[in-house]
Structure 1
Amino acid sequence: MNPTAPIFAALAVLCAATGLASPALADDPPPGDPPPPQVFNVRYTVTADKLVNARIYYRDTDPPSFSDYSHDPYVFSPTADATVGPGKPWVLETTLTDPIQWGMVAVQAQGSLPLAAAGFNCTMAINGAVVKTNSGPKGALCSLRNWQ
């Protein structure tokens, strides 16, 4: 008997078992569209210590790219004019795919009111968890990104 015959026989069995255990390439599903990005629920809340007319800037859409945003940031930053005060908040709920990068709400007094008396407050929550709060006498900014 050939001394290498058992080795070749074992190798043949091993190759056959490996071939049966691995899926054939034809069985792989065809590549499709990538899964959609995860969407986060974002809630912005703006209040003030005294009743005041406010101009509120917020982000409710993820820009396609930073260069698109840089070219014209106001396209991606709508405004709302609202009267806010104790018991009278302004609230907006939206969805963003990257709220850490793009989530933002900013508020300032509108008109000729005594700005120092406004006492603005803002809150930003993602999926129900408050992630940022801020207050200021003339305005407030809530964002996880440093915009400076």
Structure 2
Amino acid sequence: MRLTSKISAAVLAVLCTATGFAAPALADDPIPGGDPAPAPPPPAYNVRYTVTADKPVNAEIYYRDTDPPSFSDYSHDPYVFSPNAEAAVGPNKPWVLEATLTDPMQWGMVLVQATGSLPKATAGFNCTMEINGQVVKRNSGPKGALCSLRNW
């Protein structure tokens, strides 16, 4: 019985094609002349930035927690897409931020530098950037540190 049903369906499809009749639309088929199905959203990545210092210091931290719509939007006003925070950091006092980005290879970034009266050369900054729990960048520097996969 199953074989007969399959053969009947195949014959019906051939006849519809040969005679110009349209086969019935299935629920998943797009409506002719209708809007195309929307594209699935791009994958989102969890990005975690961590900043510390070898000695207690007040730091100014710039980071990216939003993907710019386009590079031209970013280049028109990069500070709109690169907020900053001031935080006291040290060896046991990290600054941590988690963000969701669709293109962390392009837009993931954290930059730290000293503020206040502490000589910048004595801070010893450290930064780490993780994507979905995997460390992808580490950097350290006496005056500041930049963690990014893109060469700025």
For the superposition of Structure 1 and Structure 2, which TM-score range results when normalised by the shorter chain?
Answer: 0.7 to 0.9
Say if 2:14 is the partner of 1:19.
Answer: yes
Q: 1:61 to 1:25 in 2, by over 3 A?
A: farther
Q: Write the distance in 2 (CA, Å) between the matches of 1:62 and 1:72.
A: 13
Q: Which residue is equivalent to 2:53?
A: 48
Residues 27-106 of structure 1 correspond to what in structure 2 (within 5 A)? 27=26, 28-30=29-31, 31-106=36-111
Q: Write the distance in 2 (CA, Å) between the matches of 1:25 and 1:81.
A: 63
Residue by residue over 1:25-55, the C-alpha shift from the partner in whole angstroms, topping out at 9 and shown as x without a partner, is 7332443211111000000000000000000
Q: Write the distance in 2 (CA, Å) between the matches of 1:24 and 1:49.
A: 72
In the superposition, the TM-score normalised over structure 2's length comes to 0.81
The percentage of aligned residue pairs carrying the same residue is: 77
- Count matched residues: 132
Which consecutive residues of structure 1, in runs of 5 or more, have no partner in the other structure?
1-14
Q: Write the distance in 2 (CA, Å) between the matches of 1:146 and 1:81.
A: 24
Task: Give the deviation of 1:17 after TM superposition.
Answer: 7.7
Q: Which residue is equivalent to 1:8?
A: none
Say if 2:151 is the partner of 1:121.
Answer: no
Q: Write the distance in 2 (CA, Å) between the matches of 1:98 and 1:54.
A: 26
Which consecutive residues of structure 2, in runs of 5 or more, have no partner in the other structure?
1-9
The structure with the larger Rg is 1
Q: CA RMSD in A?
A: 2.0
